[in-house]
């Protein structure tokens, strides 16, 4: 019997295991969200100090975390990029 089949039986141990798995996923999402916000702040701060290379580093971190966390947040610098392209 596979792990999924065993988990569907609904024993107290399985329920506890599913709870722990969901809690770990929730905690990981919260950590990723905190990291996403930190990367956005650091990128903006670097840009404000004319540290363009450091801005690129933190903006790339932001994009990566946004993707792996499946947050689907809009790019906070999109308007700035559009203005720069004019």
Query: In the prediction, which pLDDT does 36 show?
Result: 96
Query: In the prediction, which pLDDT does 3 show?
Result: 56
- Does the pTM of the predicted model rise above 0.75? no
Query: In the prediction, which pLDDT does 15 show?
Result: 81
Query: In the prediction, which pLDDT does 22 show?
Result: 85
Nearest CA among 7, 61, 21, 86 for reference residue 29: 21
Domain borders along the chain are 3-85
Q: Which helix (H) or strand (E) holds 49?
A: none
Cβ pair 73, 79 in contact under 8 A: no
d(CA 40, CA 46): 10
Cβ pair 39, 61 in contact under 8 A: yes
Tens of pLDDT along the chain (86 residues) come to 555 555 556 678 788 788 788 888 888 899 999 999 999 999 999 999 999 999 999 999 999 999 999 999 999 999 998 998 98
Cβ pair 18, 37 in contact under 8 A: no
């Amino acid at each position: 019997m596979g792990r999924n089949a065993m988990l569907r039986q609904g024993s107290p141990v399985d329920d506890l295991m599913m709870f722990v798995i969901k809690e770990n996923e929730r905690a990981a999402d919260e950590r990723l969200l905190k990291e996403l916000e930190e990367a956005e702040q650091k990128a903006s701060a670097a840009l404000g100090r004319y540290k363009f290379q450091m801005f690129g580093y933190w903006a790339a971190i932001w994009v990566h975390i946004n993707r792996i966390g499946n947050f689907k947040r809009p790019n906070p610098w999109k308007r700035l990029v559009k203005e720069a392209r004019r």
